[in-house]
Amino acid sequence: MQAIADLGDLRGKRVLVRSDLNVPLDGATITDDGRIRASVPTIKALSEAGARVIVCAHLGRPKGSPEDKYSLAPVATRLGELLGREVAFATDTVGESAKAAVEAAGEGDVVLLENLRFNPGETAKSADDRAEFAGQLAGLADAFVSDGFGVVHREQASVFDVARLLPSAVGGLVEAEVGVLRRLTTDPERPYAVVLGGAKVSDKLAVIDNLIQTADRLLIGGGMVFTFLKAQGHEVGKSLLEEDQVDTVKGYLEQAKDRGVEIVLPVDVIAATEFSAEAEHDVVTIDAIPADRMGLDIGPKSSELFADKLADCRTVFWNGPMGAFEMEPYAGGTAALAKALVDITAQGALTVVGGGDSAAAVRQLGFADDQFGHISTGGGASLEYLEGKDLPGLTVLDES
């Protein structure tokens, strides 16, 4: 893959940057600007090189037409604050507003286009429809920089097709993400532990299958753990359970045992009468989950166990919270895990927080990004990389 430096002198050139600015919003208020902050260095470097920077991104899942709640207007404001300069905002993607904003941009100026997914061509299944939209985007620019790691696993117009139409390079954010993930997959320093949480086992089947071949330990929490506990013969009450995956999980447990990979499961959970912060809840052992309760977090003894299993690790990848961290009674497990990672990071271990809910959780719980080795901007892309899949947004850059 070419780096930005390989594109030559960019002064006065129009450079289209695919960023990942898919941030959570409460109305027009950005509740976590981590992805915007992560995108700033590449945009700033291009601006300082004298390029006319055209940033494109998506937000949420609109259905191919404009929706006010998914507008990138609040992002343009925040991006300008972080860059320390005004960011011109185009109210469409490839229409008259976009063309006028790009035409008016001078050297070093930054333009943000409206949500790419307001155009159906961005995510179209038809290669011809994507190519048509990609051609319109490419017509705005002289070069392309791929810097949205959170979307490189998608074969979409602004990620994949545009790279085939313009001189293309990888941005600093994607370059850094790939560098970290290579350290996880190519001779990682051991012991190497992977912590998986979140709601469903089915979302992580492929990555579990692959990691059993490479990791020394797998620590399982979150809603997905109850399918593991069921596979071990435990009753899980009203906890989240994927009954159709129990046999698959039994196979993973056997495979891990045969390969000498340690799978660490909770020994206690916080079980509540319903999915609510106000619900009655208690700590129970995994063999005593009441039939009328659901597990919403790992318990305190499990938090201690997980911290102990991570204490000697030199490499850790974490994806998925340990419980329903959004509600204070069920945030303890995720907070304890984050603290354990902070501790081993200070001792020189490589700790990678795999984006998505994990990144949101550590920030919501008061941890700083620099307390960890790396916080990814792309949960899904990170997992697919660890599964060993080819990511279209990266393979196309290898071709260009």
**What percent of the chain has a predicted confidence (pLDDT) above 90?**
88
Q: Is 150 a catalytic residue?
A: no
pLDDT digits over 279-307, tens only?
A: 999 999 999 999 999 999 999 999 999 99
Fold (topology level) of 4-174 = Rossmann fold (3.40.50)
- As a whole number of Å, the CA-based R_g of the chain is 22
Angle formed at CA 365 by CA 376 and CA 274, multiple of 5 degrees? 105
Q: Average the pLDDT over each of 11-20, 219-228, 347-356 and give the range with the smallest value.
A: 347-356
Single out the catalytic residue among 13, 14, 18, 35. Answer: 35
Binding residue numbers for substrate? 20-22, 35, 58-61, 117, 154
Single out the catalytic residue among 78, 99, 200, 250. Answer: 200
**Residue 400 pLDDT exceeds 80:** no
Strand partners for 282: 271
Q: Which amino acid type is present at position 226?
A: F
Q: Is 197 a catalytic residue?
A: no
Q: Is 356 a catalytic residue?
A: yes
Q: What is the pTM of this model?
A: 0.89
**Residue 379 pLDDT exceeds 90:** no
CATH superfamily of 188-387: Phosphoglycerate kinase, N-terminal domain (3.40.50.1260)
Binding residue numbers for ATP? 204, 295, 326, 355-358
Q: How far apart are alpha carbons 355 and 44 in whole angstroms? A: 23
Q: Average the pLDDT over each of 6-15, 201-210, 236-245 and give the range with the smallest value.
A: 201-210
Binding residue numbers? 20-22, 35, 58-61, 117, 154, 204, 295, 326, 355-358
Binding residue numbers for (2R)-3-phosphoglycerate? 35, 117, 154
Q: How far apart are alpha carbons 122 and 96 in whole angstroms? A: 18
Single out the catalytic residue among 148, 356, 373, 393. Answer: 356
Q: Is 148 a catalytic residue?
A: no
Provide the pLDDT confidence category of residue 113 given band limits of 50, 70 and 90.
Answer: very high
All structural domains of the chain with their residue ranges:
4-174, 188-387
Same topology between domain 4-174 and domain 188-387: yes
